């Protein structure tokens, strides 16, 4: 999932008529001059910097002189349809970067190579769950975790100091609420939380032990009407009231970074990249912005977050499975994951590599949350839910006075119907 500022992913269309095969029986079927195998790789815009890409290609080809890597940068807009077409044809690239929540849709089509027998070799026991889980489908691993990003709290150091709030003492949701109440005074917002920030709400649902949808005997249904999700809604409502965020729009309308840049907002929930936007708009705030993980219910556990980011997949129709896997193994291996994390302020794909971003305040705050991160329900039908997004309507309905239980039941039914239509 594109997560430079955590925007959504387009709904995808299922691919039919392809059958999966095991990576163990694949080989490389083509080569360039000099006996080198050429592989085409699609990486997404902002996935890597130009400098990182050049450094990786140079070192990779020096270590693997029989492979010629040809990386093509793709735009996020329309990428679902482009990948769908590629998987259905005979000229797909050999490696594709895909949003972690997209993998199930592509895997269901039969267009992705099963890499289950490679998990141990790739150190899969340490993968971030929010990347690894959606990269699997029906017990098989198709997506290899590439990088992660998630929301943190971006805060104003000066406003916290003026209110006498010590950020180091905010370890629980109750402490967060108490601090935010002190910050919410006069024209100053304790927190700017739009009413339809459903990813933030999802984190509170997971904190309570619930989920957005549940599966039983192969059937998925919405779960916003469970006691856990209703408790999450109550907390969301309490937090949202400590600011002037609109109840009927999300963090992009208006852009919350623009709101914070105006100078009267103590906190927003965003990826660290949001702080960069704030500072670009209002350079005077550059040194006043800090980060901390979204607090959890208890001091020992940070708040659950949606883990966005990307996985790498190999199309079945690729003629160069071995070379493609070599590329994936290198880019997702410890050496290049550490370099990628530093270069791009991403969270590495393994919990054991969190120390790589220790010197980056925003990325290190992300890494704390990523360790307990979640993905949206792992079903191809979820894309239809995001397209219609009854969760946003539900949040607005409750925040504007609707009965939580009645509105939750209606939203759960809408989620159920959407998943049925999208599967």
How many Cα atoms occupy the beta-carbon half-sphere of 211 within 13 Å?
Answer: 13
pTM across the whole model: 0.86
Q: Which two tokens stand for residue 261?
A: 């840049």
Give which of 378, 403, 406, 346 is closest to 143, Cα–Cα.
Answer: 378
pLDDT tens track, the chain, 423 positions = 545 443 333 222 222 222 223 333 334 445 555 689 999 999 999 899 999 999 999 999 999 999 999 999 999 888 989 999 999 998 899 999 999 989 998 999 999 999 999 999 999 999 999 999 999 999 999 999 999 999 999 999 999 999 999 999 999 999 999 999 999 999 999 999 999 999 999 999 999 999 999 999 989 999 999 999 999 999 999 999 999 999 999 999 999 999 999 999 999 999 999 999 999 999 999 999 999 999 999 999 999 999 999 999 999 999 999 999 999 999 999 999 999 999 999 999 999 999 999 999 999 999 999 999 999 999 989 989 998 999 999 999 999 999 999 999 999 999 999 999 876
Q: Indicate if 152-305+379-422 has the same CATH topology as 23-148+308-370.
A: yes
Q: DSSP assignment, residue 281?
A: H
Q: What pLDDT, on a 0 to 100 scale, did the predictor assign at position 2?
A: 47
Q: What pLDDT, on a 0 to 100 scale, did the predictor assign at position 90?
A: 85
How far from each other are the two terminal CA atoms of the chain, in whole angstroms?
A: 19
- Sheet containing 95-99, strands listed edge to edge, beginning at the edge strand earlier in sequence: 67-74, 37-44, 95-99, 308-313, 144-149
Record: fold of 152-305+379-422: D-Maltodextrin-Binding Protein; domain 2 (3.40.190)
CATH homologous superfamily of 23-148+308-370 equals Periplasmic binding protein-like II (3.40.190.10)
Question: Is residue 275 a contact partner of residue 286, using CB atoms and an 8 Å limit?
Answer: no
- Beta-carbon contacts of residue 336 (< 8 Å; ≥ 6 apart): 56, 330
Give how far Cα 403 sits from Cα of 233, 239, 240, 400, 409, Å: 11, 18, 17, 9, 10
Instruction: Classify burial at 147, counting beta carbons within 10 Å of its beta carbon; exposed 0-12, middle 13-18, buried 19 or more.
Output: buried
What is the C-alpha to C-alpha distance for residues 156 and 81, in angstroms, rounded to an integer? Answer: 41
In the chain, where the domains are located: 23-148+308-370, 152-305+379-422
Q: Which two tokens stand for residue 29?
A: 């079927």
Q: What pLDDT, on a 0 to 100 scale, did the predictor assign at position 145?
A: 98
Instruction: Classify burial at 259, counting beta carbons within 10 Å of its beta carbon; exposed 0-12, middle 13-18, buried 19 or more.
Output: buried
């Amino acid at each position: 999932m594109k997560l430079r500022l955590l925007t959504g992913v387009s709904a995808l269309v299922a691919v039919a008529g392809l059958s999966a095969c095991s990576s163990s029986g694949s080989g490389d079927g083509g080569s360039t001059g000099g006996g080198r195998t050429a592989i085409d790789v699609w990486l997404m815009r902002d996935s890597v910097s130009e400098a990182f890409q050049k450094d990786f290609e140079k070192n990779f080809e020096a270590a693997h002189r029989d492979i010629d890597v040809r990386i093509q940068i793709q735009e996020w807009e329309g990428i679902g349809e482009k990948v769908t077409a590629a998987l259905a044809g005979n000229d797909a690239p050999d490696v594709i970067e895909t949003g972690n929540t997209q993998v199930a849709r592509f895997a269901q089509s039969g267009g992705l190579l099963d890499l289950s027998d490679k998990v141990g070799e790739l150190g899969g026991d340490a993968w971030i769950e929010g990347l690894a889980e959606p990269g699997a489908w029906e017990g098989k691993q198709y997506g290899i975790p590439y990088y992660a990003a998630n929301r943190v709290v971006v805060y104003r150091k000066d406003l916290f100091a003026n209110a006498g709030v010590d950020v180091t003492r905010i370890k629980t949701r109750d402490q967060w609420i108490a601090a935010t109440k002190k910050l919410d005074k006069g024209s100053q917002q304790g927190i700017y939380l739009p009413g339809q920030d459903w990813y933030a709400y999802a984190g509170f649902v997971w904190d309570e032990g619930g989920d957005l949808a549940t599966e039983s005997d192969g059937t998925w249904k919405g779960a916003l009407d469970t006691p856990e999700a209703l408790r999450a809604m109550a907390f969301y409502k309490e937090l949202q009231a400590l600011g002037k965020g609109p109840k009927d729009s999300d963090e992009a309308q208006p852009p919350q970074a623009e709101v914070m840049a105006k100078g009267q907002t103590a906190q927003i929930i965003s990826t660290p990249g949001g702080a960069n936007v704030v500072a670009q708009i209002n350079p005077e705030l550059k040194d006043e912005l800090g980060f901390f993980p979204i607090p959890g219910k208890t001091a020992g556990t940070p708040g659950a977050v949606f883990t966005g980011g990307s996985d790498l997949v190999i199309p079945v129709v690729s003629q160069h499975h071995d070379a493609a896997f070599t590329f994936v193994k290198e880019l997702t291996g410890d050496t290049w994951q550490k370099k990628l994390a530093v270069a791009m302020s991403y969270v590495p794909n393994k919990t054991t590599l969190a120390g790589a971003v220790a010197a980056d305040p925003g990325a290190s705050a992300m890494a704390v949350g990523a360790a307990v991160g979640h993905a949206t329900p792992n079903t191809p039908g979820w894309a239809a839910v995001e397209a219609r997004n009854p969760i946003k309507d539900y949040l607005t309905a409750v925040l504007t006075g609707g009965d939580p239980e009645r509105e939750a039941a209606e939203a759960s039914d809408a989620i159920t119907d959407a998943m049925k239509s999208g599967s």
